[in-house]
Structure 1
């Protein structure tokens, strides 16, 4: 749920249609948006040397597609990651998509990726129950 303090920070997504890259990444035109605070299973194999969340990456991607498809998206942009993606809390029709992915068990909460604790503020019980280090 959107809090009053966040309403001032929200930026609407561009009019460009958005597509889902995987369970925690969306592309809107040229902008790649990494949903902050969560890690979803990889759609492709986990690259060597990385620790990846276990689960069905295709199912996580489909769950994110269902959230984004036809939804009004708003972003709380927080900066960029080392890959040049926008880091953001993403809301679909006013609902935090990270929280929905956590509730559906399609992602895990990663506290160190939730710098401003915005995901934890929106769904504290889910963040606590789905946390990984």
Structure 2
């Protein structure tokens, strides 16, 4: 399904209308105040990660392949911008890390060569 308008809320999550969409298979730095107590969060600049995701999808047609829901109620999805994986784009830009246990069906591993 093509999304009309999505905004990056951080380096691995989009808001598409009322739907929150989590990119499959990656983890990006958390925005300030969003790293849950006791959780090991990815190091890096959360604003740069969010901006890189925004740039990767700017002016492109997004396709969302929904794979399920996470424990926070977000849609887990393989999201593509003009056919290119946004998960792979974030990994290649150094703005997110690959997380095998979050890679439903090894979607990202196949696309990015992880």
TM-score normalised by L of structure 2:
0.94
Alignment of 1:67-86 (within 5 A): 67-86=56-75
The unaligned stretches of length 5 or more in structure 2 are: none
Say if 2:18 is the partner of 1:30. yes
Q: Following superposition, which runs of at least 4 residues in structure 1 exceed 4 angstroms of deviation?
A: none
- Of structures 1 and 2, the one with the larger relative CO (CA 8 A, separation 6+) is 2
The unaligned stretches of length 5 or more in structure 1 are: 1-10, 128-133
Matched positions, count: 113
Alpha-carbon distance between aligned partners in 1 of 2:98 and 2:87, rounded to the nearest angstrom: 8
C-alpha RMSD of matched pairs (Å): 1.0
Asked which structure has the greater CA Rg, the reply is 1
TM-score normalised by L of structure 1:
0.81
SS in 1 for 2:40: coil
